[in-house]
Structure 1
Amino acid sequence: MSNSEELVALVALLRYGSFRTSQMALRQRLIDGDSPTLILAEDSNSRLIYDRAVRDVDQWITSGEHPLSWLDSDYPQQLREVHDFPPVIFVRGKLVQPDNGICIVGSRKAGQAALEAAAQIAQLVVDKNWTVVSGLAEGIDTAAHAETLNRGGRTVAVIGNGIDYYFPPQNRGLQHAIEDRGLVISQFWPGTSPKKYSFPMRNAVMSAYARATIIVSAKEHSGTRHQAKQAAAHGRPLVVSRAVYENTTWARKLVDDPNVLARVAYSTEESVSLAMEMATFTISDLALL
């Protein structure tokens, strides 16, 4: 079967078939080497849901919502490295392989000092010719994306809604700019509005796409903690600012865990240098830092 037929079969399974509420079992079968068309053949409604998926994929491609499956050669390699990879993603912009990125995240309601720190970190990442990854949310994410574009760097936005949906609405222009000069990724079907549960799911993809995560600002119950925990689960390096370490129990727990690649940075320069160093380190190497 061609990759396009396998993509359609995968969409049918995820959107209309028995795996629409549970992707874990489907991921395992893909890892084991079963093709989507083979798995779909086990469904008694395979022909019907395949035809529905054909219409979906044709419409998405016509509308410029480019779908990629785990089987496609253009599918980002770093997403293949994690256990909870999204079987299908949608992209707008330029795919680059490899794409070494640092994720910069933090509070949506960050103060001016934190916003300036995020911009400084983004500038330092761009100066090293790395990609800035973030989630296109208000606050820290917006500051990181905007500064990267201002500096002529590459930025990747991983969003928690359909790729044709703009959230927050005031970032529509920024999202278009990233599509033109970087890359926007979504794991959600086109037309999907943001939900409370979709942002932790987005964080998993954001953590996986980046080689390391820097948390600039966050509070105890901030949604950013999901990003930190996902980075730890993926074995990705995590750097937190001094304020985040001192003011949240989850950051202290992660940094103090010898089995987690996590460190505290006391300056913007240190946050970037630590993130890039740890991106090539293993747990046993941490004692050298």
Structure 2
Amino acid sequence: MIQTLDFQIDALKGMKNYPEKLYYIGNLDLLQSKKISVVGSRKPNQYARNLTQELCSKLSLVDVKIVSGGAIGIDAIAHKSAGAKNTIMVAGTGLDTRYPAVNKTLIQDIENNGLVLSQFEAGVASRKYNFPLRNELVVALGDALVVAYADENSGTMRSVEYALKMNKPIYVFPHRLGESKATTELVKQGLAKVIYDIDEFIAQYGTVKKDEKLDEFLEFCKTAPTYEEAIMKYASEVFEYELLGKIKIYNGKISINYCP
């Protein structure tokens, strides 16, 4: 059920204009946790997908919530990797619409187990000028911003502009020459720090307990990798987990089998 937020969020006071109204579905307690905003391209390379998956999965183990925009690409990978209960999604439409439709199941899962926010009332459809407003809200909610992959002049860089205005720390991954040129430029200009070691980055937020260690292969499968991608990285696990019924392979894609 769509509800209206009846209190102000301190983190949003750094926005140019505090939203007139905020609507939500889900668990407001997530707003009290440490939060990292994660943004990036809708078409990242596999390297960025893998690092985003690892980062967000491990952040969730130290009770850091992931904030993103629910779009295809990096947004969806971030949400899935953290798990719905560790996710705050900021929508660019009214909450009566699950947009984009391809992420409908993911968004519904976040509604049921995490938190979905929007500054747009029910009935407001997807419009181009909604998304810069959404991006500002995504950035404002986080204690820091991670830009996983971004091309030059991409929409993702609008989020960087907001982060700079709000004095938010900005982090990027170390990419190869010619890839994610916009994040490389941020590093050259001294505007972003590079995450060279994910475990070291996670350590500033908490320590993962021994009994909470990730099954890295299953976490990888949350990103819906192709069969070929999975074989290249986890050949033995693919065969073992398929035999155990933990994963399923369909149309060249691997997913987790949630059936008992």
TM-score w.r.t. length of structure 2: 0.71
Q: Which has the higher contact order (CA 8 A, sep 6+)?
A: 2
Identical-pair percentage: 30
Q: Mapping of 1:148-163 within 5 angstroms? A: 148-149=82-83, 153-163=85-95
Q: Displacement, 1:169? A: 0.3
The correspondence for 2:111, drawn from 179, 187, 191, is: 179
Q: Which amino acid aligns with 2:80?
A: A
The correspondence for 2:43, drawn from 109, 112, 119, is: 109
Q: Specify whether residues 127 and 257 from structure 1 end up closer, same or farther in structure 2 by C-alpha distance, changes over 3 A only.
A: same
5+ long unaligned stretches in structure 1: 1-63, 278-289
Q: Specify whether residues 144 and 250 from structure 1 end up closer, same or farther in structure 2 by C-alpha distance, changes over 3 A only.
A: closer
Q: Displacement, 1:137? A: 0.4
Q: Specify whether residues 227 and 270 from structure 1 end up closer, same or farther in structure 2 by C-alpha distance, changes over 3 A only.
A: farther
Q: Is the 8 A contact 2:149 2:180 kept in 1?
A: no
Aligned to 2:11: 78
Q: Mapping of 1:128-167 within 5 angstroms? A: 128-149=62-83, 153-167=85-99
2: CA distance, partners of 1:209 / 1:83: 13
Q: Displacement, 1:257? A: 5.4
Q: Specify whether residues 247 and 161 from structure 1 end up closer, same or farther in structure 2 by C-alpha distance, changes over 3 A only.
A: same
SS of equivalent residue, structure 1 residue 243: coil
TM-score w.r.t. length of structure 1: 0.64
2: CA distance, partners of 1:212 / 1:139: 20
Q: Is the 8 A contact 1:215 1:244 kept in 2?
A: no
Q: Specify whether residues 154 and 217 from structure 1 end up closer, same or farther in structure 2 by C-alpha distance, changes over 3 A only.
A: same
Q: Deviations over 1:177-207 (max 9, x none)?
A: 1011110011112111112221111110000
The correspondence for 2:26, drawn from 93, 111, 119, is: 93
Structure number with the higher helix fraction is 1
Q: Does 1:241 align with 2:169?
A: no
Q: Which amino acid aligns with 1:127?
A: L
Q: Which amino acid aligns with 1:145?
A: H
1: CA distance, partners of 2:176 / 2:26: 33
Q: Displacement, 1:253? A: 5.6
Larger radius of gyration: 1
Aligned to 2:219: none
5+ long unaligned stretches in structure 2: 207-260
Q: Deviations over 1:41-62 (max 9, x none)?
A: xxxxxxxxxxxxxxxxxxxxxx
2: CA distance, partners of 1:94 / 1:137: 20
2: CA distance, partners of 1:140 / 1:248: 13
